[in-house]
Amino acid sequence: MKIGIVGLGLIGGSLAYDFRALGYKVLGVSRQPQTCEDAVKLGAVDTASADLASLASVDVVFICTPVSVIDAIATRLIPYLSPEAILTDVGSVKGPVVKRVTPLWPRFLGGHPMAGREVTGIQAAQSHLFAQNPYILTPTTKTPLDVIDVMRKLVGELDGDLYECSPGIHDRAVAWISHLPKMVSAALIAACVSDADPDIVQLAQAFASSGFRDTSRVGGGDPELGCMMAQYNREELLRSLYQYRQSLDQLTDIIECSDWSALDALLQQTQAERPKFL
């Protein structure tokens, strides 16, 4: 089987390493000639070029570009695909991508590997990135069964933990554990620098240590990623933000009332809940 990867960055490059190691021929396509050159030199792909026509002979294509361009790339790629080719993507939001790409290519199945790193680009790609991490497939009622079977097999070969759900359910669940935390962490940093006394802000910055490192990490990350989450998963993100505002109000009320037993009960509950997420 031949595999095509469009977008040789962190996720595309990491998929390429694993599929090559599994014995598949991997053909890469990326926008910048330098990225293509690096991907070949690093041994991530067998060949790479900027030309989507080079994927005419592949059996499965993974689109691994930013979410904002997945449908445009699918549109440009489809004229070159063989009729049996399977198309998938790795975008972190599924609803809008599946809605736009499925009518273009019925043999499309959305996917989302829940694995990543702080750094991006082909140099950050690594083998076994997906092993023991959730890999979500989002079939619709119209997705051909053989397409689902092939994708299940590939996820299994990556050693990913396979989950299947609708695109909408995916986006709702991911809002809670990825998109809401990005906004909450950003709001935390914004609040910390809003103290009216600049000396206090400076001291807080000097005192910040491991706790602040953990809680501010995603809020201090790539702004483009946060904008993508908000733009493409707006409704689910808003739903989670409204609920989070209620949680904050509840905590504020408890502390205003100096109701320490209620606070203790709430913190006991969150302490017990956290391990279920990680």
What is the rounded CA–CA span in Å between residue 17 and residue 191?
42
Judged by CB under 6 A, does residue 138 bind ligand NAP?
Answer: no
Find how far residue 13's CA is from the centre of its chain: 15
Q: Which x/- pattern, by CB under 6 A, does the window 106-135 give for ligand NAP?
A: ------xx--x---xx--------------
CA-wise closest residue to 70 among 39, 108, 16:
108
Sheet holding 86-89, edge to edge: 47-49, 25-29, 2-6, 60-63, 86-89, 108-113, 134-138, 161-164
The least CB distance from residue 267 to ligand NAP, in Å, is 30
Q: Which of 4, 9, 95, 110 binds ligand NAP (CB under 6 A)?
A: 9
What is the rounded CA–CA span in Å between residue 176 and residue 169?
11
The least CB distance from residue 238 to ligand NAP, in Å, is 19
Judged by CB under 6 A, does residue 11 bind ligand NAP?
Answer: yes
CB nearer to ligand NAP: pick between 70 and 81: 70
What is the rounded CA–CA span in Å between residue 185 and residue 270?
17
Number of residues forming the site for ligand NAP (CB under 6 A): 23
Neighbour-count burial for 169-184, b at 16+ CB within 10 Å, e otherwise? bbbbebbbebbbbbbb
Q: Which of 65, 138, 185, 233 binds ligand NAP (CB under 6 A)?
A: 65
What is the rounded CA–CA span in Å between residue 59 and residue 27?
11
What is the rounded CA–CA span in Å between residue 260 and residue 272?
18
The least CB distance from residue 203 to ligand NAP, in Å, is 33
Q: Which of 17, 35, 167, 175 binds ligand NAP (CB under 6 A)?
A: 35
Judged by CB under 6 A, does residue 233 bind ligand NAP?
Answer: no
| Dihedral Cα 101, 105, 107, 113, nearest 10 deg | -30
Q: Which of 10, 55, 98, 237 binds ligand NAP (CB under 6 A)?
A: 10
Q: Which of 16, 27, 85, 92 binds ligand NAP (CB under 6 A)?
A: 92
CB nearer to ligand NAP: pick between 242 and 277: 277
| Environment class of 130 (CB within 10 Å of its CB; exposed 0-12, middle 13-18, buried 19+) | buried
Judged by CB under 6 A, does residue 90 bind ligand NAP?
Answer: yes
| Environment class of 23 (CB within 10 Å of its CB; exposed 0-12, middle 13-18, buried 19+) | exposed
Judged by CB under 6 A, does residue 139 bind ligand NAP?
Answer: no
CB nearer to ligand NAP: pick between 30 and 102: 30
Q: Which of 8, 55, 87, 155 binds ligand NAP (CB under 6 A)?
A: 8
- Interaction site with ligand NAP (CB under 6 A): 7-12, 30-32, 35, 64-67, 69, 90-92, 112-113, 116, 120-121
